[in-house]
Amino acid sequence: MSNQSTLTSIRLDADTLQELDMLVGQDGIKNRSDVIRLAIQQLLHGQAKLPGMKSVRVPIGRQMERHLASLYELYGVSHEQAASEGLVLYTQKKLAEAKGIQNELDDVVANAVDATQASKEYHE
């Protein structure tokens, strides 16, 4: 990567500029250019790895950040791997819940049908 940079002008509305200025001074960000560079890097690095894939950005708190750092130190599990595995577990749980609900609904419908069908003794 080259150390040379190119000056690029952009237009920002007042609200965006104010939000940008609020980030200056946080986490080693020295100026507006640093904020914009960081945003661009996050955008570029947050892209899906393969065509057809989507990328999700998940804000985390300090406690979760510490937990994820510990997982990385202990097992080499990256934030992305942990989030991906968490999404798989979450969807499996929700699908199992939905299947359970569907099974309950099917039972209720079957019981209702059985209760409302005419008895054979009345059909001669």
Closest among 73, 72, 92 to 81, alpha carbons compared: 72
CA distance 42 to 59: 13
pLDDT digits (tens, 9 = 90+) for 64-86: 999 999 999 999 999 889 999 99
Under the banding of pLDDT at 50, 70 and 90, the label for residue 2 is: low
23-27, 38-42, 58-62, 113-117, range with the lowest pLDDT: 113-117
CA distance 6 to 9: 10
| Relative orientation angle of helices 62-75 and 79-116, to the nearest 10 degrees | 110
